[in-house]
Structure 1
Amino acid sequence: MTLTTLVTHVEPGEAASLDATLAMPFALTEAWSAHLTTLVFTTDTLAAADEAQAAAHVREAAERRGVSCEIRSRSSFAHGIGEVLVDHLRVADLGVLALRGGAGVGHRMMLGAAIFESGRPVLLAPHGGMPAAEFGRVVVAWDASAAAVRAIHGALPFIRRAAETLVVTVTEEKDFRPDQSGVEVTRLLARHGAKARFVAVPRDGGSVSEALYAAARGAEADLLVMGAQRHSPLHNMVFGSATRELLSGGPSLPTLVAA
């Protein structure tokens, strides 16, 4: 399994911001000798944005690095920004999107559409973070959900290349049958050629996402893999949601999600 086609989105803006957004997509495109489709349009209808200028900057940056990159605009205003991104993701292997804390409503809605409506895994990268061409250590969040299963399979290209994969279950969350356990997941990944092991971590009164990111930091992970759950507003208000916290606060390390 390999990656051949990646999709990213660039918010028009200053050159430094454009370069920060492109850092991870360019690094992965180079590492996998892949093709990158870059969508250039604004997610804030009230903000003045020079999309043509931004597209020119992306084109020049790709040419300098020798990255195979095609640039697409929104092209049609009959569809929402989320629909435009989803259409491109459905004919790609992976979405690679920069996410910063405090992103606007339009940007978060676009990300939600990408995650929940495209059927493809999406890699969320911290905006401006130092990109890694390879993810040497991967942490997989396992809760026996369908979303976690899809996230793991979407991350297999990275897991197979990793020096180590840690399958993590946050305890005090759910009761698992023996065949749903993270131990069985590590055996599956081993059959795919991964170097995997399992560990259970306590929630300790915090949120699930806090426990996961603490485990990832403790393991010095380069990539976190997790399923994304869409909950009702009431569920989010009462119980919290790791997905909601991720989208609102931004990831502290590259995080691959699937729904």
Structure 2
Amino acid sequence: MAEDKDGNIMGSSQSRRNRRSTTNRESGEREGENIQVWYRHSGQPEIDTIPDDCTYISIKYEREKLEDVGDHHITHMSIKTGVIPALMTPSLKQLQLKNVNPSQLDCLSSLTGLKVVMIWSSDFSAGLPPVIAELETLESLKLIDCQLRELPQSLKSLKRLKELDLALNNFSAGLPPVISEIGTLESLTLMSCQLRDLPQSLKSLKRLKKLDLDYSNFSAGLPPVIGEIGTLESLTLEDCQLRDLPQR
């Protein structure tokens, strides 16, 4: 028979419950400590996007985060450090993550209704985690300041993707070819990506309406392909070291 912390004898079932409770509590402390979270659930008024000025709360145990959700389900979530797998449910529509380890992202594969993903200030220098290309319902993908230098061809499997934001990555070796193969794109942000040129293949994006190239290095001239994207409605070229513009 087991004893509790005061030396009292416990039955085997009670002992198992206490051990399980202790394990869960310790796990919660490890996973939840110092994590800043904002969320929205289905019992609250609907919103279009996660607000920029959302107020985060600090959680230590995963169960504390769920107390006010009740029978509702979480639809929007932003986490500043890491991922909390227990909160990654199919009801999520929008998810923001900061300072996330690529190995933590496998739990996203169960998010079958996810439409918007934003990940920033994370280290993907070894490559984009494969699970991202498996999120077939995605309409908006933002990978900001993630130390990316290339993108996998598997990304073209995102057949519903309309918005791709790759700001603050390093594509000085050239724009990843797969971008030109995502034919559903309507908005492409390449701000501060150390670009010097753009491939002619970019004109194959027949639905592209918005192109952000701020803080590129086009001192050698504006890439000719820009004038060949006839669907563009918005083009930003702030601080691109341009000396002149082509007549057409």
> RCO higher in 1 or 2 (8 Å CA, sep ≥ 6)?
1
Taking structure 1 as the reference length, what is the TM-score of the superposition?
A: 0.30
> Quick check: which has more Rg, 1 or 2?
2
